[in-house]
Amino acid sequence: MTAREVYGFFRSSTSYRLRLALAAKGLDYSPRFISLPGGAHRTEAFLAINPQGLVPVLREEGRAFTQSLAILEYLEERYPEPPLLPADLVERAYVRALSQVIACDIHPLNNVRVLTLLRQDFGIDDGGVQRWYEHWIATGMASFEAMLSCECRHGRYCLGDKLTIADLCLVPQVANARRFACDLSPFPLSCGIAERVEALDVLAPAAPGRQADAF
Ligand SMILES: N[C@@H](CCC(=O)N[C@@H](CS)C(=O)NCC(=O)O)C(=O)O
């Protein structure tokens, strides 16, 4: 039993990001399953851990860390090996920019609470919600693909052959887009990278289907 805990949900892409980072760094943890469909993130017990009511949360040595990108940066600073950010300042900025295309410009628009609001408060039907979801995947992934292609710094992964947090943000977003049957054919660079990252043995335990709360 480790003192490190991860509060997450198998299908949550932000939880998946964190599991990927922990796997890449070889850090073990005890999973704490927070069912989003079951509303476990809105219970008093969970709100006492993260008042924002969102997963993931990393708990280490009694401290709770929230916001997946902030957690990834914390892990990077605390456990620098193997690095998930490049040493070069300009490359670091590039990797952070790619990560934020996904974490700031795609994910928040397609989050569960947004889709629920569209359905419940704005009366949008399933077809409309699907169009919304596909729209933000298409525009966000087009930006991501264009950055990769214009900068031409990719190799096996987003930045050459070094795994970075940009790859760890990309994989869960592509997985979610596939789950919502979005057309990913216009994004061959991004999808090729995602497939190569997903195929890494060291990261396999982080996959949604491998979590004990998966259904
Ligand atoms: N910016 C936050 C977003 C966290 C987030 O939105 N998590 C989702 C799951 S992927 C969640 O808890 N959603 C609950 C809800 O929308 O009600 C992060 O990166 O950690």
Which one of 100, 112, 136, 168 would you pick to mutate in the ligand 1 pocket, going by the greatest count of ligand atoms within 8 A of its CB?
Answer: 112
Segment 51-93, tens digit of pLDDT: 999 999 999 999 999 999 999 999 999 999 999 999 999 999 9
148: confidence class by pLDDT, cuts 50, 70, 90: very high
Per-residue pLDDT tens over the stretch 104-113: 999 999 999 9
Which superfamily, per CATH, for 5-82?
Glutaredoxin (3.40.30.10)
Predicted pLDDT of residue 15: 98
CATH topology of domain 89-201: Glutathione S-transferase Yfyf (Class Pi); Chain A, domain 2 (1.20.1050)
User: For the whole model, what pTM was predicted?
Assistant: 0.97
Please list the alpha-helical segments (H only) found in the chain.
Answer: 13-24, 44-47, 68-78, 89-105, 112-120, 126-151, 165-179, 188-198
Q: Look at residue 2 in the predicted model and tell me its pLDDT.
A: 63
Of all residues in the chain, the percent with pLDDT exceeding 90 is 99
Strands 57-60 and 63-66: antiparallel
Domain ranges of the chain: 5-82, 89-201
Predicted pLDDT of residue 101: 98
Query: What 3-state class would DSSP assign to 58?
Result: strand
The amino acid present at 156, given as its one-letter code, is: R
pLDDT of residue 3 exceeding 90, the answer is no
d(Cα 211, Cα 62) in Å, to the nearest integer?
24
Reported as a pLDDT band with limits 50, 70 and 90, residue 155 is: very high
Report CA(123)–ligand 1 centroid distance (Å): 22
Atom of ligand 1 at shortest range from CA of 112: 16
Report the sign of the C-alpha dihedral through residues 23, 27, 32, 36, in that order: negative
Burial class (CB in 10 A: 0-12, 13-18, 19+), 100: middle
**Which pLDDT score, from 0 to 100, does residue 116 have?**
96
Which atom of ligand 1 is least distant from the CA of 36?
Answer: 14
Ligand 1 mutation target, pool 7, 54, 179, most atoms within 8 A of CB? 54
